[in-house]
Structure 1
Amino acid sequence: MNKWQIEDLLKDYQWKLQSVKIMRESMNEINVNMTAQYGLQAAMPKASGNPSDPILREVERRDERWKKIHDYEKDIQLIQSKIQKVNNEREVEVLYWLLDGKSMRWIGLHMGLSHTHIQRIKDAVIENMIA
């Protein structure tokens, strides 16, 4: 991974984490409410082409949603696996605030540093994660 990819993953970490949580909850609710189709109609052949069966379309939509959840989880796990590479106390603090979705200005105000200094610390965090 390069610097920009890790920087993008750090920016997207918080919303991807929240999205996975919400999507998993909604998918589990759907699982409870969906029932399988049994009997003679389930064994009948289906037409080819664009499916007209609303259940099949829903299954395909849900399958795409699970793939998106899996992609988000891979990104989240990648960042989580690289967190231990950051050892400096200030860098760790900046990293955790970034993962919480805070802006560099907010972090700078919180830590009593300028946002440009926070930018330099963030760059050092990314370099540590790449190594």
Structure 2
Amino acid sequence: MQTTINPNHKYIESVCSKCPGTHWGKSAKCRIHDMHIGKISSCQQWDDKEAEQWIDDDGQLALTNLEPVLELLHVAQDQLDGYYWMTQQIEKLRSKIQSGLGSNDDVAAGTAQYGIEATLPKARGRNSDPVFREARNNLQAWERLNRRVKRFEDKVKRVDAFAEKNNLSEKEQIVLEGIMDGQKMKDIAKEIGVSRTRAQELKNKVVNDLAWAIYDEEKKKEKALS
């Protein structure tokens, strides 16, 4: 009788033996799948190849350490994918701010008259002034738009800094710059002469490196505050 080797035996040895599902290797039955580990044909941990990213902590997989790593990857992905859109939004918001939010002359005059005081509590009766109320609303809207611009600018500057200084290959750099320019992945793949699948793999590498850059940036901020 021919013996069949489970193709996932490498994961059984490296992952299951350190997983709480088998009580860290003390049981041959996985509590998560409710079956013998030798009969398990697929596992989310294997499919995602998370075993390669887990951190060994005293012989046990420190699962909680994955959370900040995955969060950074999501942040990097969102900021890279949203880069082109954010640059467009910054220009639109700046134009809106400079145009005075489309306010009329009376509202603009009211803003100039009341200034920052428009956001402070007033004596009874004064808030009935329609010009004052409009000026206050106008100022609050102006402040909201400025905060939004600042958030977008911080994210854009982060990606810009990464694009200027990184360890990417030439093709990875082209993928990065193409995404920043708003190109579609199929067009980027065609430009560098690879399949869309390969282009996506290159993008994943870019995202991973950007995540590390964000991690280093956050650590520097923490160190500066300590």
Secondary structure of the 1:53 match is helix
Partner of 2:81: 11
**Comparing 87-96 and 105-114, the one that deviates more:** 105-114
**8 Å Cα contact 2:87-2:156 kept in structure 1:** yes
Partner of 2:93: 23
Say which one has the larger Rg: 2
> Could you tell me which of 101, 114, 123 is aligned with 2:195?
114
**8 Å Cα contact 1:86-1:125 kept in structure 2:** no
Partner of 1:58: 138
- Alignment partner of 1:99 is 2:169: no
Q: Please identify which structure carries the higher helix content.
A: 1
In structure 1, how many angstroms separate the alpha carbons of the residues matched to 2:127 and 2:100? 26
**8 Å Cα contact 2:75-2:211 kept in structure 1:** no
Structure 1: runs of 5+ lacking an equivalent: none
In structure 2, how many angstroms separate the alpha carbons of the residues matched to 1:25 and 1:86? 36
Pairwise CA distance, 1:56:
0.6
**Comparing 75-84 and 95-104, the one that deviates more:** 75-84
AA at the equivalent of 1:96: E
**Comparing 110-119 and 22-31, the one that deviates more:** 22-31
**Percent of pairs with identical residues:** 21
> Could you tell me which of 57, 68, 87 is aligned with 2:148?
68
Aligned length: 123
Pairwise CA distance, 1:123:
0.9
Pairwise CA distance, 1:130:
2.5
AA at the equivalent of 1:12: G
AA at the equivalent of 2:168: N
CA RMSD after TM alignment: 2.4
**Comparing 21-30 and 69-78, the one that deviates more:** 21-30
Moved over 6 A (4+): none
